[in-house]
Structure 1
Amino acid sequence: MTDERRPIRVALAEDSVLLREGLIRLFDEAGYETVAAVGDATALFSALDGSDGVAPVVADVVILDVRMPPEYRDEGVRAGIELRRRDPRRAVLLLSQYVEVVYAAELLASGAEGVGYLLKDRVASLEELSDAVERVARGGTVLDPQVVRELMSRRSDPISHLTGRETEVLAAMAEGRTNQDIAAALVIGLGAVEKHISSIFQKLALEDASSGHRRVLAVLAWLQRG
């Protein structure tokens, strides 16, 4: 959780210098404090733990490119999982050029709170980027809408018994939207949204889960069942 009286502190690991500088400017515009901006995971860990000889930085949210040096495969994912292993409360937001469902699943498996997976196309919108950063910083979960669509198309079996409207509600839930936001987007009443969500939880066998985590568990059900 962040202190709303001070700016959100962001640590960024992105190997593209142009995108890194662009993100820093967006963070400044959003009122965030960029405490570290580096090109790979090794430099990120050095900044966070102080192994570079400088006092360690404190970040509310760590934003990672999925593919970084040296091999440009899943270095950002591995770094995010390691950060979560060291501190499960660490908020981590992955940025990716493409929808890579496996990577989203791996990060979510490290813990449901304070994680996000966003496509780089979204960072052109300050509103979308700041919304994701702030929700993750507060302990929420953010999944890019395109990632949600891929999950639903690739892992349809767990939701095969949902109605069309329940599927729409579940997609919006997986994006981290509140019940009020879902009601407004689908032009239905708040009571109807709550009824659909209750039905979704029943059909996905999540009735015994903690009410605060069932939204994320619904997404994990898609990832874990074939």
Structure 2
Amino acid sequence: MRVMIADDAVLFREGVARVLAEAGFDVVAQVGDAASLLHRVREDPPDAVVVDIRMPPTHTTEGLDAARDLQERHPSVGVLVLSAHVEPHYALQLIESGARGTGYLLKERVADLDELTDAVRRVAAGGLVIDPSVVAQLVGRQRTRSPLDELTDRERDVLKVMAEGRSNQAICQRLYLSQKTVEAYVRSVFTKLGLHQGADDNRRVLAVLTYLRG
């Protein structure tokens, strides 16, 4: 799998590249700013990019802006945005467009090889990745009356794991449930949230957005 990395911190960037290379990824480019990343992707689109949310020249949202550009111009390229801080509103902005293959992960997760490589593979395959810390902060907010109130505790558990971008199989493993049981819970969640029509992938994203917005 071909991956590009964009981060202005050279040591961090090289560290991520080494970790991914050792895990079998082909790191085809390392750059220090968003403009260089977009240029390299235009020349030779990879399977996925890993991009810091803050880069030159302003160190604000260059990486997030690049992610949006890639979602629009290169929808087949998975985008994993890394952030040093829990910033839930940025995570929501990434997924609200409905684009496939996007993720938001805290930089501290890079120390976990399995977590990082799994996230890159999932966005490259068109999946959704949201850092568990972001999910926890969003769902910990005060909530007004919402369709989520109709869910049972177990359905909420299933939806919480789904909100991290996990598959039904991963939900089975996390919650120690059978495949059929998880499928039944997921169908029930869709029904209670009024998501009766459309492909399951789309309904999963809509269910996650409902959950995160509260």
* TM-score, normalised relative to structure 1: 0.87
Q: Which runs of 5+ in 2 are unaligned?
A: none
Q: Aligned equivalents of 1:155 and 1:202: distance in 2?
A: 24
Q: Aligned equivalents of 1:83 and 1:158: distance in 2?
A: 33
Q: Aligned equivalents of 2:51 and 2:204: distance in 1?
A: 24
* Residue in structure 1 matched with residue 202 of structure 2 by the alignment: 213
* Residue in structure 2 matched with residue 107 of structure 1 by the alignment: 94
How many pairs align?
Answer: 212
Which residue identity does 2:46 align to in structure 1? A
Q: Aligned equivalents of 1:161 and 1:30: distance in 2?
A: 43
Deviation readout 1:124-146 (Å, 9 max, x if unpaired): 11111111111111111111111
RMSD: 1.7
* Residue in structure 2 matched with residue 53 of structure 1 by the alignment: none
* Residue in structure 2 matched with residue 145 of structure 1 by the alignment: 132
SS of residue in 1 equivalent to 2:82:
strand
Deviation readout 1:133-186 (Å, 9 max, x if unpaired): 111111111111111112222374452322221111001112222222212221
* Residue in structure 2 matched with residue 47 of structure 1 by the alignment: 40
Which residue identity does 1:154 align to in structure 2? R
Deviation readout 1:39-97 (Å, 9 max, x if unpaired): 11011122223xxxxxx233110111111111111111111001111122221111111
Corresponding position: 1:160 with 2:149: yes
SS of residue in 2 equivalent to 1:160:
helix
Q: After TM superposition, list the pairs within 5 Å mapping 1:114-153 onto structure 2.
A: 114-153=101-140
Which residue identity does 2:27 align to in structure 1? T
Change (3 A) 1:164 1:25: same
Q: Which runs of 5+ in 1 are unaligned?
A: 1-7, 50-55
Dislocated runs of 4+, deviation >4 Å: none
Matching residue within 155, 161, 181 for 2:170: 181
* Residue in structure 2 matched with residue 35 of structure 1 by the alignment: 28
Q: Aligned equivalents of 1:106 and 1:96: distance in 2?
A: 14
Deviation readout 1:87-112 (Å, 9 max, x if unpaired): 22221111111111111111112334
**Contact 1:88-1:111 within 8 A present in 2 as well:** no
* TM-score, normalised relative to structure 2: 0.92
Q: Aligned equivalents of 1:111 and 1:146: distance in 2?
A: 21
Aligned residues with identical type, % of pairs: 50
